[in-house]
Structure formats: C-alpha cells, structure tokens
Amino acid sequence: MTPALASAMLPLLRRLDPETAHGLALQALRLGLAGGDPRPDDPILGTTVFGRRFPNPIGLAAGFDKNAVAVRGLMRIGFGFVETGTVTPRPQAGNPRPRLFRLDPDRAVINRMGFNNDGLAPYRERLTALSSRPVPLGANVGINKEGADPVRDYPALIAAVAPHADYAVINVSSPNTPGLRDLQGEAQLRAILEAVAAISPRPPILVKLAPDLSEEGLAAVVETCAAHGVQGLIVSNTTISRPPGLRSPHREERGGLSGTPLRALATRVLARAYQLARGRLVLIGVGGVGSGRDAFEKIQAGAALVQLYTGFAYGGPALIPRLKAELATELRQAGFARVEDAVGTAADQFAKG
C-alpha cells in the first residue's frame, strides 16, 4: 500500500470514535500497511542538528505513538525523525473517555488524554528492539499522575532511554496532568535539570514548553535551560486557550487544543524563544503545521526542526511527501541553499505576532 492509498482510507476512520480510529491507524502502521516512500529526500532538506544527520527537518511529534509500537512504520513513510512517548515510569490509564475530540471545521483536536501509556518497561523493550533506524528517534518522558517525584523520576527515565534514543524530551507542559505545568517554574525546573545533568552518558536533552507561558515565564525557562545543560526546546505543546472563531461544537471541551488554530500562537512563542535563546539552544517548532509554507515559517521563526501531529492525523501519510516538496520549493524560492540558512531569518517579524 502506498501513502496516498493509506490516506484515502482516512474518511472511513473518521466515522469512528477518534481514539478508536487512532488505535487502528497505529496498528496499520505497525503492520506496515501504510506503505512507504522509497524516494530519497531532496538534498536541500538535509540538516545536521545535535551532531546527528536528519534527511529532512519534518518530524512526528510525541503523543501519536506513545508506546513506540509503530516506529518502523512511521519512519518508512518519510518523516525526518520520529518522537515517541510521552512515557511515564509506571503504566497509567489516563483520564476517562471520551478524552479526544475532533474539531473538523477548525482542522483541530482537543485532547485530555492524561499521559495514558504502557509504562517504561515495555516502552524500553520496544526501543531496544529497534536495532537499526533510518532516521533519528526521540523519547519524550513525563511523570505519573500519582506517586510522582519529578527530581527522582525524570533522571531515571532519561537514564533508561539514553542508550536507545537520539535525543530525550522532558515534558513539563501537558495541560492534562495536574500540577505538571507548574514544573516550568524556575526553581522546580532547575532542580529537575540539575538531577538530569548527573546522568552520564545521556543523549541531547530538550524541554517541551507550553504556549501559554507569560513573557516573564518564557524568559525564565529559556535562561534556566541554557544554564543547566539543556540542548534545546520544543515549542510548543497544546494550548488551554481558545482562540476566537472556533466553529466546532466541541470547542469548549476541556484539554489541550492543537492544530491550525494553535499555529499563530505557537509560532509567536517560538520566535520569542529564539530571540531569548540567542543561539544557546536548538529549537523544534510544532503547532499547526499542515503545509510546506507552515513548516517554512516555523524555520524562519527560529526552528531548526519542525514537528506535526494534528496535521498528520488529518492528512495521513500522503501529507509527508507533499509537505517536503512544498518546503523544498519555499526554501529555493526564498534563495536559501540549506535549511540551516533559513533558521531564524524572520524571528523578529514572527515574534510580533
């Protein structure tokens, strides 16, 4: 099956409950039923980040494959990198269903999943089984809703995934675990990062941020991360805000909003983080990416790499080759020979919103 044919089946999946449809899509990817894209990427898209070579800068964000069950299938369809998780030390069921809502008129999703996952042990076993990977792999880690000790748990998670991941992400920004976003506070985050810094060897460490941070909060997070051995930031997670103009009847559901309505906010926060970081941190831009133009804007706002989730859920595997082709065109038309040359070139513009 080709990515285009797999995407043609999306209307059938959308007749199902969103979480059921997501589970079936993961199983199809795990079994290789989504096909693959054997064509080599356009050389203009290749980039080196964290000392690792990415064939293209378009990655899959965490949350799609929480348990790392479909990594091979996802890597086959053309992503430049794949981020798995969020994984917690112990298994947890997450919040009661329904907890995932499509906002079809808005090309958006609201979720309040609550870090539902199988836990660290099976997740690590699946990563261990990935003896060879065609593209870099990220591991996104979080804490359990109950019985958590962030200063204990985050370093233990990083140590567990370190041999199997090209980078690891400390998730302190999901809105669906009570108290988690409080860990973005300067003192709490510093304590976590100091504990993580004691892990050796460790992969490059990134911190995933909420788009709802205040200007002062964002500046404090950037400075704390830059001062405590963090290599990069992922900007951003879902938002608890509700932009005006949402049309779906699900728009008032509790949880984090992702997709097209998040794009402007996430890109503005990304650009501001780029200004604050002053080259000390690598940024990954995520939020509302559904086209090559969207990806190009994230790069110009300061992202060395770009991720998508909701756009992939709506567009399916056929979106990836199209998005890469569009991005290559955008780069060439703007006069850039490499992705790296475009990073941050319009940060001042996008930071103004």
Within 13 Å, how many C-alpha atoms sit on residue 242's CB side?
A: 13
Q: Cβ contacts of residue 92 below 8 Å, gap of 6+?
A: 114, 115, 116, 117, 119, 144, 145
Amino acid present at 160:
A
Residue with tokens 């998005």, as numbered in its chain: 323
Which domains, from first to last, does the chain contain? Answer: 40-351 (3.20.20.70)
How does DSSP assign 158-216, residue by residue?
Answer: HHHHGGG-SEEEEE---TTSTTGGGGGSHHHHHHHHHHHHT-SS---EEEEE-TT--HH
pLDDT score recorded for residue 8 = 54
List the catalytic residue out of 7, 131, 132, 174.
Answer: 174
pLDDT at 2: 58
Statement: the pTM of the whole predicted model exceeds 0.85: yes
Look at residue 313 and give its three-state secondary structure. Answer: helix
174 classed as catalytic: yes
Q: List 60's β-bridge partners, or say none.
A: 82, 308
Query: Rounded to whole angstroms, how far apart are CA atoms 32 and 103?
Result: 28
Based on its alpha-carbon atoms, the radius of gyration of the chain, rounded to whole angstroms, reads 18
Beta strands in the chain (DSSP E): 47-49, 52-54, 58-60, 81-87, 100-103, 108-111, 137-141, 167-171, 205-209, 232-235, 256-259, 282-286, 305-308
**Cα 287–Cα 128–Cα 84 angle in degrees, nearest 5:** 10
Residue 7: asked if its preceding bond is cis (omega within 30°), the reply is: no
Specify whether the CB–CB gap between 35 and 3 falls below 8 A. Answer: yes
Reading the chain (353 residues) residue by residue, the pLDDT tens digits are: 555 545 555 666 667 889 999 999 999 999 988 878 888 999 999 999 999 999 999 999 999 999 999 999 999 999 999 999 999 999 999 999 999 999 999 999 999 999 999 999 999 999 999 978 999 999 999 999 999 999 999 999 999 999 999 999 999 999 989 999 999 999 999 999 999 999 999 999 999 999 999 999 999 999 999 999 999 999 999 999 999 999 999 999 999 999 999 999 999 999 999 999 999 999 999 999 999 999 999 999 999 999 999 999 999 999 999 999 999 999 999 999 999 999 999 999 999 97
For position 9, what pLDDT does the model report? 58
Contact (CB, 8 A) for 284 and 231: no
